[in-house]
Amino acid sequence: MGAIFHNQFVTFHPFLDGNGRSARFLSLYLLEARAYDWKQIVPIDRYYAEDRNLYYQMLQQNYSHNYYEGRNDTDFTPWIEYYVKGIRIILEGTFQQVELYKSQNILMNNRQVKILKYLENKKSVTASHYAERFGISSRMATRDLKQLLDWGYLSVMGQARATRYFMK
């Protein structure tokens, strides 16, 4: 229900700025009204914001521009699958974070989780690359990477600007 409402809301409320936010808020409100009250601890919006192009592509699905001539009887299956996948991925990540925190008293931020996944396939990362990748200051990037180093997830080579971080 939340997925279809979300899709339909952006259909008849087609503003360039704000309608996605409103649609996500209202669809989560509908889920909350049906006793799915986890939006206070699980930021579902994060999934859709990570890849805006895919989000817009999934919303459009080559639908007719005219609601009454083709869009009202649309097959919403691809959109619903995408919507539910987003909820599942965010919930799984949240549960992993809770378990990590319970077992090791470590609470990673989203950037740290993503960079560890990134480093599974890449050799290394620098603080400047990390900062650029996530649009944060170099100071914050260095802090994030130092935490991962302190927690035993990364090893380091080099000094100052030449410092590179590797998966252990």
Q: How many residues does the chain have?
A: 168
> Band of the pLDDT at 48, cuts 50, 70, 90?
confident
Q: Tell if the pTM clears 0.75, that is, is over it.
A: no
Residues 133-162, mean pLDDT to the nearest whole number: 89
Measured CA to CA in angstroms, residue 83 lies from 22, 78, 133, 161 at distances of 15, 9, 25, 41
C-alpha to C-alpha distance for 102 and 92, rounded to whole angstroms:
15
> Can you give the pLDDT at residue 18?
60
pLDDT, greater one: 21 or 77: 77
What residue ranges define each of the domains in the chain, with the CATH number in brackets?
A: 2-104 (no CATH), 110-167 (1.10.10.10)
Query: 15-40 burial, b if ≥16 CB within 10 A, otherwise e?
Result: eeeeebeebbeebbebbeeeeeeeee
Which of 42-46, 64-68, 109-113 shows the lowest mean pLDDT across its residues?
64-68
Q: Cα 1 vs. chain centroid, distance in angstroms?
A: 21
Report the amino acid identity of residue 105: N
Q: What is the pLDDT of residues 98-130, one digit of tens each?
A: 787 777 778 888 788 888 888 888 889 999 999
> Can you give the pLDDT at residue 101?
77
> Can you give the pLDDT at residue 105?
75
Give percent of the chain above pLDDT 90: 11
> Band of the pLDDT at 28, cuts 50, 70, 90?
confident
